[in-house]
Structure formats: C-alpha cells, structure tokens
Chain A
C-alpha cells in the first residue's frame, strides 16, 4: 500500500482548475454537488464515474445537456457498485493504467438499495472508490425515509404527528458495516470540512482496491434550510457530534476529530425545518444516542 507521506497533497491552491461537474441543474446550495465536484477535481480527468438513480444523476444528465466533463454513466439503482467493478475490469483489459473508477451514490442507493452490490464489490476487492453522499433521505423522489435518516426527521413517509415524532429509527451505522468487510480504506467526511474530505479522496485515489467514503452532504430543499447555510449546517453536524470524522485503515479505526465539548444539538436541530417539530424528550433521545456512540468510539478507536 502507498505510504501516506508519498501521496502529493491537494488543496485549493494547487488542485486542477478544470471543472468536471459544471452547469448541472442541482438546487441552489446543493451539498451533494459540492462533494461530487470536489471529488472529481481531486481524482482528475482520467476518471470513470458511475451514478445510480439519485440526485446527482438526475441533475447531471438532463437531455440534451451533459454536466459531467469526464466519463460518466447512469447505472441501475441496485447495481452501481457492480457496474463500476465492470468498468474497472474493462479498462484494465484494455491496458489502461492511469485511471480511477468512482461511484457517486446517495444514501438510499448505498445503504438500502445498492447495498448487496457494494458488499460484493468490497468482497472481491475491485479497484473502485465508492463515495456515498449522505443527505439523509431519498431527496430526488421527494424526501422519503432511507436507512440513513436520523431519529426525528420529518419525511413524506414518516410524517411527524401526535403519535410519532417523524422517523423513529436511528441512523444505520454504515461506516462500521463497511469496515466490518475488512476493506482496504474507508472514511467518513463532511462537506463542512472540505480539506478533510479532499485529503480522504486523495488518499483513496492512491489505494489499490475497494475504498469507501461516506460524506455528509446537506440538502437545503429536503432539510428546510436557507441555501446559503448548507456548508455551515454540515459543519455544525460534526461540531454537535452527530456526525463523526473517522478512518478505517489496515484493520484499525482512527478518530480524526475528537472535540472536548460538543456544540448544542438543539441549536443544530432547530435550524432545520425537518426537525422543527421535535419535543425536548425527542432531542434528549438524540443526545443520549450520540453520547452512547461517542463513549464507545472513544473507548475503542483512540
């Protein structure tokens, strides 16, 4: 495996000025498009992107426009990882060497529908980077609950009312599920910390074999937030401890950010329309769940 020190650093000053995701029709302030754009800029021109049904394929491929400026294809919803594995194998058979295959799938396309193909891809250790941009619901089809929707979220399939406070399940622990495959490299990131995300994509680019990045990407339309705050919200989620930044490498977990004190969870939740209805007891439930998780992470990952 390539050593971390050998990898050339990428930042805003030295990254390519080419845009590979340009002129797309994503909502103003879309967090997912920041993740896709930055990842493609780090990976460079020699990239094959595979996108299952989801926001980024819907906004990038509106006929006759083509917002992707490098090779990109829409895949079947459950088969994005296997199609990417096929692309990688095909390019290898053609004798190509300096390329990277990447999947951009939403949270539904990763944690629910595309999961079996992703699991198979990691099992076979195909040379594919799988990036899951997590906006915490099926946003493209009009905000339905997915496996990564957190507790208390109001969606169209889990409406908040007198009987239930919106979604009653907690977020699936996707990062640890992926790490349990003994994958070569997996990481979580947030668009609120762009340099951290860039570093992780850059690291994954230089790893041969299956890699996975789970990036938290805000969605102003689905979350009921003003468009200009989408990066701030993604940062607040990390600062409040609801999203953690971690890596899994060589069988070891590493916590990248271990804040001494968390920011107010209530403040983070009340900024968003999808959590506005939550009672104090619901917020307490979110905080308890967070503390339990952090206790476990601090015990085992530090």
Chain B
C-alpha cells in the first residue's frame, strides 16, 4: 500500500501502469522466494494480506479491448468484474492485464458494446 503523500505528488499523466495500480491500492505481484531459513516462513499459516506471487494472465484465451470512443464511463464493468481488474483512470477505464482471466463479463454486460474480446 502506498502513502497518501506519494499519490498527491504524481499527476495522472505521469503515471506508469505500475504506479496506477499502486495508486488504486491493488496488491502488486510479489516475487516468491523459496524459504531457505526457518525465519523466512510467515509467522501464521499465511503470508501478509495481498501477497500475490502468481499472476492469473495465463488463464486467458480472449482479452478485453476497450474502445474509449464508445465508452460512456457508466462503470458497469467496474462493478461486475469478478476479479476487480477494471480500474478508474482519469475518467477512463483501464484493465490490469496481469490478473484479468478473460471471462468476458465486462464485454457481455457493456450497454454500449464498447469492450471487445480479442483472441490473445
């Protein structure tokens, strides 16, 4: 998670994809290192909240592509994405492709058909 100060300093046009993900408070992909010492293991039966060593992008056969000219920013896709990969980005929607599973709910539910499922 990122502090409020850092978010304030950066304007939206300067942000890279990673920074936008950080700003939206989505947990980021974390590299998993095989523990070599007993101290490397977490204290409880789990790692800390939002520890994500694996991406879900490999599940995908079709990927959603947004046509921003058609999009009316109704945020229905944002509400209904089962994985929460759709984020608001300065009046546009943006998709985190690392965790999109390509289920197609966003494209199917879009009232303007602004999202198209394209084969990877």
Contact = CB atoms under 8 A, between A and B. Distances in A.
Interface in B68-116: 74-76, 78-84, 87-88, 99, 101-105, 107-109
B25 interface: yes
Q: Which of A18, A21, A191 has the most CB of B within 10 A?
A: A18
A18 to B, nearest CB: 4
Nearest to B23: A17
Interface string B30-69: 0010000000001001111111111110010000000000
Interface stretch (A1-9, A29-37, A170-178, A255-263): A29-37
A37 B86 CA distance: 12
Interface of B: 24-27, 29, 32, 42, 45-56, 59, 74-76, 78-84, 87-88, 99, 101-105, 107-109, 117
B98 to A, nearest CB: 8
5 contacts: A13-B75, A33-B83, A63-B45, A64-B42, A69-B25
A21 B49 contact: no
Contact of B32 (A21, A33, A64, A229): A64
Contacts of A33: 82-83
A34 B56 contact: no
A55 to B, nearest CB: 12
A19 B27 contact: yes
Interface residues of A, number: 41
Contacts of B103: 28-30, 220, 227-228, 230
B75 A29 contact: no
Given A28-B101, A28-B102, A228-B105, A69 B50 contact: yes
Contact of B79 (A12, A26, A229): A12
